[in-house]
Structure 1
């Protein structure tokens, strides 16, 4: 779990994904379109991806962990929460506040 905390706080925006997940792809594209350049950790391509996935499950408390989005070192949510934040207009402000995007 310490490795997840370390990785999630290295950049302003961090997304744990799987390369075959369509929702992961959509969330990454959303961040890019908003001007963010998140750190992407594809669990199915990382050497210790399975261990990271188990740590995320423990940290989040949910069996489905991807995409897992951290902004400013804090877990914000998965696709559902991120899309909700985007639709209500608060995702962009979260990214600005975390210095993930600038205006």
Structure 2
């Protein structure tokens, strides 16, 4: 769990993903379209991937990916990110985290 939190706080936007996950792809694309370059951790390509998967499940992500951290804080999975995007709060969070300068 500490490893996930440490990685999640290293950059303004961090996404834990699996390379074959369609929702992960959609969330990454959403951030790219906002002008954000998130740090991506493909847990299926990481030696500690299974451990990371279990830690994300313990954080409350079910399924474990995509899991998004903004400004070092765990935001949630695809549903949480899309809700923030639709209600306009995502841009504010990205600006506050220093990931967006518009």
Calculate the TM-score normalised by the size of structure 1: 0.94
Shift of 1:43: 0.9
Question: Unaligned regions of 5+ residues in structure 1, if any?
Answer: none
Correspondence 1:47-62 to 2 at 5 A = 47-60=47-60, 62=61
Residue 37 of structure 2 corresponds to: 37
Paired residues in the alignment total 102
SS at match of 1:44: helix
Taking the aligned partners of 1:40 and 1:6, their CA distance within structure 2 comes to: 14
Taking the aligned partners of 1:72 and 1:9, their CA distance within structure 2 comes to: 7
> Residue by residue, what CA displacement relative to the aligned partner does 1:3-59 show, whole Å, maximum 9, x if unpaired?
101100000100001111111000000000101111100111111111111111122
Query: Is 1:91 equivalent to 2:86 in the alignment?
Result: no
Question: Unaligned regions of 5+ residues in structure 2, if any?
Answer: none
Taking the aligned partners of 1:30 and 1:10, their CA distance within structure 2 comes to: 20
Shift of 1:63: 3.8
Runs of 4+ with deviation above 4 angstroms = none
Shift of 1:64: 1.3
SS at match of 1:37: coil
